[in-house]
């Protein structure tokens, strides 16, 4: 990255929590217009923060608008993502707070996301979705699976489900919190490319382990504990995976549901994720809407040199 005298302000927030130093950390880098960064520079900055995601926030073209819009780019340490949940909730909380607005829109590579402040909930986002259940599951020859026989069996049988094209999760249901606590990083990742449906490649794919604390079929509210464990890292909160899991379960049950998902407990960063899913029964259980909600709290501010 070339050395210049420019500096860009950044803020870090902890998302899906109201308690600093819990939840999932997020960095937001505010960009001037025109954007001074190349794609390669954004990737280097995301690597420098070394968080699960970093957001690059473009200025609102009309911040005085009743419903202002902001364009955002979402990067992991390795790639740009079309959509991710905790960057959406965290950025929405940040920009709506700065603008003093109750409603706004985030423009992502996956589409426009209406966001609003909801009392007692935090921020709620209308998540873009194009759900797809892949036709295959993993085979026994895959590397990177658990050494625990019960967990491995669940991994091999778990569905692969996309919330949008390019964001796919292996949804691994476990029977108990005890078994959820035994999930470990293996150092290797399965080769998901061999099992994804051809027209849905390439895609980010990750493993999402969960335990149903209740099925919610009585009152329509479901409580879940989850973990998102990669080959070399664990994520404290994964909003896109929570949306994928919620959409998958609501579709299977053919009923609109509310989900309360707690993640990050095992790594000491408890996160509380809310998802509401509408199901169109007349459309053979098709998903009619997905809303992601949660809180965020600012932790650090500073500037970076570019």
User: Please, where in the chain does CATH 3.10.310.10 lie?
Assistant: 7-120+295-305, 132-294
Could you list the beta-strand ranges (E) of the chain: 7-15, 24-30, 54-57, 69-75, 80-81, 103-108, 111-118, 122-126, 132-133, 160-164, 167-173, 204-212, 221-229, 234-235, 257-263, 271-280, 286-294, 296-305
Reply yes or no on whether the pLDDT at 3 is more than 90.
Answer: no
Q: Other CB atoms closer than 10 Å to residue 93's CB: what's the count?
A: 22
Q: Helices 85-99 and 239-253 sit at what angle, rounded to 10 degrees?
A: 110
Looking at CATH, the fold of the domain delimited by 7-120+295-305 is given as Diaminopimelate Epimerase; Chain A, domain 1 (3.10.310)
53 given a catalytic annotation: yes
Question: What are the pLDDT digits (tens) for 144-157?
Answer: 999 999 999 999 99
Q: Other CB atoms closer than 10 Å to residue 100's CB: what's the count?
A: 7
Q: What are phi and psi of 166, to 5 degrees?
A: 100, -5
Q: Which of 142, 152, 205, 206 is nearest to 182 (CA)?
A: 152
117, 125 Cβ separation under 8 angstroms: no
Question: What are the pLDDT digits (tens) for 73-131?
Answer: 999 999 999 999 999 999 999 999 998 999 999 999 999 999 999 998 999 999 999 99
Reply yes or no on whether the pLDDT at 285 is more than 70.
Answer: no
| Assigned superfamily of 132-294 | Diaminopimelate Epimerase; Chain A, domain 1 (3.10.310.10)
**pTM flag (> 0.85):** yes
CA distance 8 to 303: 5
Residue 250 in tokens: 């609501």
Reply yes or no on whether the pLDDT at 214 is more than 80.
Answer: yes
Q: How many CA atoms lie within 13 A of 303 on its CB side?
A: 7
25, 12 Cβ separation under 8 angstroms: yes
| Catalytic residue selected from 53, 69, 272, 276 | 53
Q: Which of 171, 172, 237, 176 is nearest to 15 (CA)?
A: 237
């Amino acid at each position: 990255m070339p050395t210049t005298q420019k500096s860009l302000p950044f803020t870090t927030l902890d998302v899906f929590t109201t308690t600093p130093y819990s939840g999932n950390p997020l960095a937001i880098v505010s960009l001037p217009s025109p954007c001074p960064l190349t794609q390669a520079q954004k990737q280097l900055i995301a690597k420098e923060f070394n968080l699960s995601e970093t957001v690059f926030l473009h200025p609102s073209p009309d911040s005085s608008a009743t419903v202002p819009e902001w364009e955002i780019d979402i990067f992991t340490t390795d790639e740009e993502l079309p959509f991710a949940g905790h960057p959406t909730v965290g950025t929405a909380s940040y920009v709506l707070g700065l603008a003093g607005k109750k409603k706004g829109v985030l423009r992502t590579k996956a589409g426009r996301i209406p966001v609003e402040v909801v009392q007692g909930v935090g921020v709620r986002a209308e998540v873009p979705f194009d759900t797809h259940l892949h036709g295959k599951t993993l085979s026994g020859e895959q590397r990177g699976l658990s050494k625990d026989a019960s967990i491995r069996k669940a991994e091999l049988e778990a569905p692969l489900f996309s919330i949008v094209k390019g964001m796919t999760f292996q949804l691994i249901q476990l029977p108990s919190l005890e078994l959820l606590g035994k999930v470990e990083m293996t150092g290797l990742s399965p080769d998901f490319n061999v099992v994804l449906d051809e027209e849905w490649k390439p895609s980010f794919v990750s493993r999402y382990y969960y335990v149903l604390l209740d099925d919610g079929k009585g009152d329509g509210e479901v409580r879940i504990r989850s973990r998102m464990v990669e080959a070399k890292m664990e994520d404290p909160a994964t909003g896109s995976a929570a949306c994928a899991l919620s959409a998958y379960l609501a579709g299977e049950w053919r009923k609109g549901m509310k989900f309360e998902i707690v993640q990050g407990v095992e790594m000491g960063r408890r996160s509380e994720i809310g998802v509401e899913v509408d199901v169109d029964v007349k459309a053979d259980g098709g998903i009619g809407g997905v809303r992601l909600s949660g809180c965020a709290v600012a932790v650090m501010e500073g500037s970076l040199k570019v």
